[in-house]
Amino acid sequence: MAVTLDDVRHIAALARLGLSDDRAHALVGELNGILAHMDVLSKVDTTGVEPLTGIGLSTTPLREDRGPAIPLVHPIETFAPKFEDGFFLVPRLATHEDASDAS
């Protein structure tokens, strides 16, 4: 299962990472180099073995359906890139027109 340049571009888009052409090309080799070592796992017989889903605690502790209050020492304005009237401001989403331009 070798990673291709298209795979790198696809997963970079999924991960919201912009990559230069040089970096994308280099990552093909880097990721294949790492994944080649992982192939050893395919040879392990895991018939009937459940994937590990939790460690330590045998059950998930329950609590009231109300998050514990976490008082903020610094107001949101001090750490948010853009915050106004109680809202985080973000650039506008693509419109349908933008989407058709891009396709």
Residues found near another protein in the complex (CB under 8 A): 1, 3, 7-8, 10-12, 14-19, 27, 30-31, 33-35, 37-38, 40-42, 44, 46, 49-57, 60-61, 63, 68, 70-76, 78-82, 88, 90-94, 98
- Least distance (Å) between residue 40 CB and another protein: 6
Q: How big is the chain, counted in residues?
A: 103
Q: Are 94 and 103 in contact (CB under 8 A)?
A: no
- Least distance (Å) between residue 86 CB and another protein: 13
- Least distance (Å) between residue 75 CB and another protein: 8
What whole-number distance in Å separates Cα of residue 74 and Cα of residue 72?
Answer: 5
What whole-number distance in Å separates Cα of residue 4 and Cα of residue 2?
Answer: 6
